[in-house]
């Protein structure tokens, strides 16, 4: 007869093994990928900041590194061709590290989440460059998910349970739940039994599907992409709450970026849907086109951040 202790040990070993497997999927830091080496006879636009120096494009780890690499390479190739200069892909483990690349001038532009944007905007080192339109909209949602066979049907049911957050600066992956709990007079540390960070939305989705977490809050765009690409994975999950619409993760630059470069980038993004190579990049991103900045669509995230983060 097997002892209860031996059964507990086997369960612990299984959970540890799953955590290690999830860790293998977690983001790692990649220095850069360079595309489009200098070509003979290329025309370079005049002005400071526009020339042969590489265009440095940082991407927040909304999805895991390998998927990010495959998804963004056509975009970098398009930008390198439009600006007649090499392009580099910069990846880091956390949203804060991507923000820091823009703040310190180590990246020329970045794809960031709404929560990270309002942080950089408030501190004065982020400016909207372009906003993606996806499925006819410039908004998305936070989804609170649980295992399909779980007894949980509301956020309140997850009291004392293990919950997966995406990143400390993530809007859909943390801020929304913090705000919801604050409205209930709660905070994550007192409400959940345990929390941990996965550092990408697809990792959070897998954490719930694999039984490593009882719930998670994730980006609806990532969830819908996995529904198309891995329906068997999403079949193991259930959405118990859908947030109000939030401004979609934007493309940003530092306000002090050289004006000629900023203008060249803006034109490249806003006309991408009119260029054959641009259309290929858009298809990989699952974006219809890029639109001019609309700061008002991030007002909901600003309000939540002000309350949760105690901003004056």
pLDDT in tens, 104-144: 999 999 999 999 999 999 999 999 999 999 999 999 999 99
Q: What pLDDT is recorded for position 22?
A: 53
- Assign 256 a pLDDT band (cuts: 50, 70, 90): very high
Residue whose entry in the numeric block shows the structure tokens 């990928």: 33
Going by their DSSP bridges, the two strands 289-291 and 237-242 should be labelled as unpaired
Yes or no: say if 172 and 140 are a contact pair by the CB < 8 Å rule.
yes
CA distance 182 to 188: 9
Angle at CA 239, nearest 5°, toward 238 and 240?
110
Mean model confidence pLDDT for the chain: 86
CA distance 155 to 177: 9
For domain 34-138+247-308, the CATH superfamily is Periplasmic binding protein-like II (3.40.190.10)
CA distance 247 to 301: 8
Q: What pLDDT is recorded for position 134?
A: 95
> Is residue 229 pLDDT above 50, yes or no?
yes
65-69, 98-102, 249-253: range with lowest mean pLDDT: 65-69
31-35, 253-257, 295-299: range with lowest mean pLDDT: 31-35
In the chain, CATH 3.40.190.10 covers 34-138+247-308, 142-243
User: Can you read off the two tokens belonging to residue 192?
Assistant: 């959940």
> Is residue 304 pLDDT above 70, yes or no?
yes
* Alpha helices, DSSP H, located in the chain: 4-25, 65-83, 95-103, 114-122, 176-183, 188-191, 201-209, 220-229, 231-234, 259-270, 276-285, 299-308
263 Cβ contact partners less than 8 Å away, ≥ 6 residues apart: none
- Assign 220 a pLDDT band (cuts: 50, 70, 90): very high
Q: Which long-range contacts (CB under 8 A, 24 or more apart) does 231-237 make?
A: 233/205, 233/206, 233/209, 234/205, 235/148, 236/147, 236/148, 236/209, 237/145, 237/146, 237/147, 237/148, 237/205, 237/208, 237/209
User: Can you read off the two tokens belonging to residue 91?
Assistant: 């990846």
Does the structural domain 142-243 have CATH classification 3.40.50.2030? no
Helix or strand or coil: residue 12?
Answer: helix
Yes or no: say if 287 and 133 are a contact pair by the CB < 8 Å rule.
yes
Sheet containing 142-147: give its strands across.
194-197, 162-165, 215-219, 142-147, 237-242
Q: What pLDDT is recorded for position 147?
A: 98
**How much of the chain, in percent, has pLDDT values that exceed 90?**
77
299-to-81, 118, 180, 256 alpha-carbon distances in Å: 35, 9, 17, 23
User: Can you read off the two tokens belonging to residue 214?
Assistant: 């009882």
Q: What is the pLDDT of residues 22-42, one digit of tens each?
A: 544 443 333 333 333 333 333
**Mean pLDDT throughout 219-244?**
96
> Is residue 20 pLDDT above 50, yes or no?
no
- The phi, psi pair for 201, rounded to 5°, reads -70, -35
CA distance 247 to 132: 10
CA distance 187 to 181: 6
What's the whole-model pTM score? 0.83
């Amino acid at each position: 007869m097997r002892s209860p202790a031996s059964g507990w040990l086997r369960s612990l070993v299984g959970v540890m093994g799953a955590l290690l497997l999830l860790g293998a999927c977690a983001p790692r830091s990649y220095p850069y990928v360079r595309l489009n080496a200098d070509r003979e006879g290329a025309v370079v636009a005049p002005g400071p900041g526009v020339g042969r120096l590489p265009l440095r494009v940082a991407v927040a780890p909304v999805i895991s590194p390998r998927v990010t690499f495959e998804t963004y390479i056509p975009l970098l190739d398009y930008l390198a061709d439009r600006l007649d200069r090499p392009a580099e892909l910069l990846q880091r483990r956390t949203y804060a590290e991507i923000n820091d690349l823009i703040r310190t001038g180590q990246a020329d532009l970045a794809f960031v989440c709404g929560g990270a944007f309002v942080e950089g905007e408030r501190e004065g080192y982020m400016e909207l460059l372009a906003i993606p339109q996806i499925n006819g909209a410039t908004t998305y949602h936070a989804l609170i998910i649980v295992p399909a066979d779980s007894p949980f049907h509301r956020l309140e049911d997850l009291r004392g349970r293990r919950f997966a957050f995406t990143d400390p600066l993530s809007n859909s992956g943390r801020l929304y739940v913090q705000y919801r709990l604050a409205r209930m007079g709660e905070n994550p540390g007192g409400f959940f039994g345990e929390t941990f960070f996965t550092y990408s939305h697809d990792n959070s989705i897998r954490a719930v599907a694999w039984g490593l977490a009882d719930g998670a809050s994730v980006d609806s765009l990532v969830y819908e992409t996995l529904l198309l690409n891995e329906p068997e994975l999403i079949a193991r999950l259930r959405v118990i709450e859908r947030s109000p619409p939030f401004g979609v993760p934007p493309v940003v630059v530092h306000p002090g970026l050289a004006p000629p470069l900023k203008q060249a980038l803006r034109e490249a993004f806003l006309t991408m849907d009119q260029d054959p190579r641009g259309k290929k990049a858009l298809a990989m991103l699952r974006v219809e086109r890029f639109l001019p900045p609309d700061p008002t669509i991030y007002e909901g995230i600003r309000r939540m951040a002000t309350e949760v983060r105690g901003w004056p």
